[in-house]
Amino acid sequence: MSWLGDVWEGFSTVLVGMNITWRHLFVKKVTLHYPEEKWQLPPRSRMRLFMKYEDCIGCG
């Protein structure tokens, strides 16, 4: 009766997935609240998180 096995497997894997998503509701979120908290760039980074207006040459 592979049909019954298929139906049961479908149902149980859905429940397992729902369990995982349910748990993630209560996890601490990884969002950085940008203007209030800023990310500290490591010392070697070659980027800037702001724009220097004097350096901008415009897009065209």
Partner 1 sequence: MDLVFKLLPEAVPYWLRVGLAGAVCAVVLITLMALGPIAYVYVETKLAGFMQDRIGPKRVGPHGLLQTVADALKLMFKEAIYPAGADKMLFILAPCLVVIGAFLSFVVLPFGSHLQTVDLNVGLFYVIAVSSISTVGLIMAGWASNNKYALFGAMRSAAQIVSYEIPAVMVVLTVVTLVGSLSLQDIVRGQQGGLPHWFLFRYFPLMPVAFLIFFTAGLAECNRTPFDIPEAESELVAGFHTEYSGFFFAMFFLAEYTEMFVVSVVASVLFLGGWWAPVPVLQEIPLGDISIGLGPLWLVAKAWFLVFVMMWLRWTLPRLRVDQLMYVAWKVLLPIAMVLVVAVGGLVLWRPTANGFPWDRWVGWPLTSVLFAYLAYMIVAAQRWSRRRAREMAA
Partner 2 sequence: MATDLQGGYGWRVDELDTDEMILNMGPQHPSTHGVLRIELRTDGEIVRAARPHIGYLHRCFEKHAESVDYPGVIPYTDRMDYVASMGNSLGYALAVEKLMGIEVSPYVQTIRVIMAELQRIASHCIAVGTYGMDIGAFTPFLHLLRDREKILDLFEWTCGARLLYNYNWVGGVSHDVPEGFVKACRQFLREFDAITYPEMIDLLIKNKIFIKRTAAIGVCSPELAVSYDLTGPNLRGSGPPRDLRRDEPYLGYENYEFDVVVGEGKFGPRGSCFDRNWVRALEMKESAKILHQAVDRLEKMERADVHEKVPKRVKPAKGEIYGRSEAPRGQLGYYIVADGTGVNPYRVKVKSPCFTAMSIFHVLAKGMMIADIIALIGSLDVVLGEIDR
Which of the listed partners (partner 1, partner 2, none) does 44 bind, with a CB threshold of 5 to 8 Å by partner kind?
Answer: partner 2
Nearer to partner 1, 25 or 47 (CB): 25
Measure the CA–CA gap between 27 and 16, rounded to whole angstroms.
17
CB 55 within 8 A of CB 49: no
According to the binding rule CB under 8 A, does residue 21 interact with partner 2? yes
Measure the CA–CA gap between 25 and 19, rounded to whole angstroms.
10
According to the binding rule CB under 8 A, does residue 45 interact with partner 2? yes
- Least distance between partner 1 and beta carbon 20 (Å): 8
